[in-house]
Amino acid sequence: MSTDETLPGTRTWQQRLHATLFASETLTGKVFDIVLLLLILLSTAGVMLESVESIGAA
């Protein structure tokens, strides 16, 4: 067994975080990517709406 192989349930929190952030083939990775994309889109829409003078004055 090589050193990078771990038994199920023995991964460190860093390994689980890395899998969530960078491995989009996992369910948690896909959910993270979708949530991040939605937050980026909402943020962009908010900045765009804030720049419209009639909406920004309200």
44 φ/ψ angles, rounded to the nearest 5 degrees: -65, -45
The pLDDT value given to residue 36: 92
Question: pTM, whole model, 2 decimals?
Answer: 0.61
Burial of 14 (0-12, 13-18, 19+ CB in 10 A): exposed
Predicted confidence (pLDDT) per residue in 7-23, tens digit: 667 889 888 888 888 87
The pLDDT value given to residue 41: 97
The pLDDT value given to residue 2: 45
Residue 42 has pLDDT above 50, yes or no: yes
The pLDDT value given to residue 1: 41
Residue-by-residue DSSP string for 23-44: -TTSHHHHHHHHHHHHHHHHHH
- Domain residue spans of the chain: 24-56
The pLDDT value given to residue 20: 80
